[in-house]
A = this chain, B = another copy of it.
Amino acid sequence: MEQRKYGGRGTKGALVIGLAAALSACSATDEAGTNAKVAALESQVAALQQRATRADDYIAIANLQAAYGYYVDKSRWDDASDLFSTDATLEIAGRGQFIGKPRISEYLHQLGSLEYGRLFNHMQLQPVINIAPDGRSAQGRWRSLMQVGHLGKEARWGEATYENEYVKDGDVWKISKLHSFITFYVEYDRGWNKGAVALPKHLEGLEPDKETTVKYGAFPEVFVPPYHYPNPVTGK
């Protein structure tokens, strides 16, 4: 109805009405509406980009930790070390903290190498992954079912719970903290009803950089590895 306001008779009027008609779908009101819609879309799209990134992050972290496990199985220690951030920490089985990539590499290399008759499976299972609101870090609880041993020597079942942290370095997720609580370790030949294997609290010739953060006893002791997350339903 805008054109009425400025409408007139004669040629000039016709020109003006014609122009105004051309504007009919383009009034200030409509334009403002369009602009508001575009602004709303822009903010929705920005939110969606964040959400898409969170989904990508979940997948990247799940892949990362699974890849770590496959390297550990096969004593590919250089590849495993490369998954850590520069100032990452590693703490396994109460043996103290190893700080920084070079020390983590050193720790991992002393776990032994690929050789005939050696089994060293560390399955990476049951992730609970929570990404920080800013999308730059994440935490993950995992568990490992372990099958380790040597032909003609020992065979063992073990289980560890991990409480790990991850950091996004540019676009790449890295492990910034690996904390493995070995919860039980038993001889294959005896099972968990006949006793557990004691975990060595110290590795020959390798001193940690810092003390163990959490002292605990594995099976048959009672120990609940701390949870990085509140109850997912109650939030407590």
- What residues make up the interface of A, taking CB atoms closer than 8 Å to B? 2, 5-6, 8, 12, 15-16, 18-28, 30-32, 34-35, 37-38, 41-42, 44-45, 48-49, 51-52, 54-56, 58-60, 62-64, 66-67, 69-70, 74, 76, 79, 82-83, 114-119, 121, 123-130, 141, 143, 145, 147, 149-155, 157, 159, 161, 172-174, 183-184, 188-189, 191-196, 219-222, 224, 227, 229, 231-234
Contact = CB atoms under 8 A, between A and B. Distances in A.
Contact of A44 (B49, B55, B116, B147): B49
B42 A45 contact: no
Contacts of A70: 126, 128, 141, 143, 161, 227
Contacts of A51: 52, 55-56
10 contacts: A55-B56, A64-B232, A66-B126, A70-B143, A118-B220, A147-B192, A149-B191, A151-B193, A151-B195, A188-B191
Contacts of A174: 233
A145 B125 CA distance: 11
A183 to B, nearest CB: 8
B23 A15 contact: no
A222 B48 CA distance: 47
Contacts of A58: 59
A174 B150 CA distance: 39
A80 B16 CA distance: 73
Contacts of A60: 232
Contact of A52 (B52, B145, B147, B233): B52
Contacts of A26: 23, 26-28, 31
B6 A19 contact: yes
A54 B60 CA distance: 12
Contact of A145 (B25, B34, B117, B123): B123
A149 B41 contact: no
Contacts of A38: 34, 37-38, 41
Contacts of A219: 117, 119, 151
